[in-house]
Structure 1
Amino acid sequence: MCCRHLSFNWKLSGLLAPQIGDLKKLETLILQHCSFTGWIPRSLGNLAELSFLSLSGNNFTGWIPRSLGTLSKLQWLDLSDNQLTGYIPVSTHFLPGLDLLHNLKELILSRNKLSGKIPEKLFRSNMALTQVLLDENELTGEIPSTLGLVRTLQSLHLGGNSLNGSVPSNINNLINLLGLDIQNNKLTGQLPNFSGMNSLLRVDLSNNSFEETEAPAWLSTLPSLGILLVYYFVHKIFISFKPSLININVKFKRGAQDYRQWTT
């Protein structure tokens, strides 16, 4: 009898043994909210049949193993809520990386200590990604413009990092996006243009350094948008929203105390 599914063993702890890579027929490996420590074993790259992998809510440290990039059938990768460090690995001429996961639909790396830039190579137009959750890490650099190529995206969470520069102008290619979180970064330039993103339900742009602006024209054109958060604590900014144009909850702060809210 072959083991194909291994999941929800909450009482497990210690190191995840490299022998886990010997379970060659494994299709599902879900070890969420255990008490595992140490590095994620590279031998997981031997699990060629794996479709679902979640190691979230443990105490794994070290780097994301490049060998995960060999899991060609993987659709769901969740390594959130650990203590992982280092860069997000992408392939080189001789080494695999997460950009080789052609069937991946959900990439969840939230709440770790990952650093460096978000690799442009991580995203391509032929991907089927629906969720990219990289929030609450230590990522730097600009948001890669290649994200705008992944038209299947529904959730994009990059908040709580140290990303800088402008939001890529092709962000409005993501016409299936439901939620966008880029709050608590160091983003500058003009507010992003969300024209044509008619599926958007919630956008959080708060605690960045966008330029002063009047109400953007796209604000009155998005039929589904219910919440737009634009808190500002440091830089002086005035935004003349006209909430009568759309059924939307708009919030902003200037300073620590000035709170305003409109709901129509």
Structure 2
Amino acid sequence: MLKQLKEDIQAVFARDPAARNTLEVITNYPGIHALIMHRVAHKLWEKDCKSGARLLSTFSRFATGIEIHPGAKIGKRFFIDHGMGVVIGETAEIGDDVTLYHGVTLGGTTWNKGKRHPTLEDGVIVGAGAKILGPFTVGKGAKVGSNAVVTKEVPAGVTAVGNPARFIYKDKVTENEEEQRRRNYAESIGFQPYATTSDQTDPILEGMRVLLDRIQNNEARMNTLCQRLSLLDPTFKKQNQEEQPFSEEELKIIEEVRRECEAQSSSSKA
């Protein structure tokens, strides 16, 4: 128990630059207070002393503003920063090195008995005000953005943002020739579809990229057709390569979409 407490305190120093010394952490961090009381309450719960466990849990909620059901399973080096308003349900399971911020809810969506709360694997970070609702798994190393509402399984290593939550994936490969071709073409028409960092893809941006590919392929086919027609008919005027590929109205729409993508990218980074 003391070894576990030491690890929990070290986790505070690792994840909160405001922490100055051990005494300050022990006396002033409600997340530590709630975690200590939960570990005792959980032991009582496992020994079938459920009334005592619930009583200690209720006192912990009163003292810290953090509600953790004594039946919840919590791993090593768990850190609740700020803490006020955090709710962790009975069948929730939390792995090692997990971080929660204030206002987070790990809740259920059914009144049925059995597993009804989420499982957070190792290294998960959940931002302030996020709601994770249901008996599914948030994968190892995943991040849930502030105020996100998650109601389905989150793959390992991704970031979930928004309400309802959408996933931002990290690309696992470096930019290849196909990606470079897309980038060069986008620049040639004055449109930047990558409104986020190169190692992430947003679903909306991914859709824009697919549309951009289709436009480029169609233009390439049209150019080839025009070249062949010019060989068959010398009077046929070859398509002007300098011609603006979009009308002013179309460019205005693209610019609005680009700004929206940038706004979503900025909110996901926050």
TM-score in terms of structure 2 length: 0.25
**Which structure's residues are more often helix, by fraction?**
2
**Which structure's residues are more often strand, by fraction?**
1
Structure showing greater Rg: 2
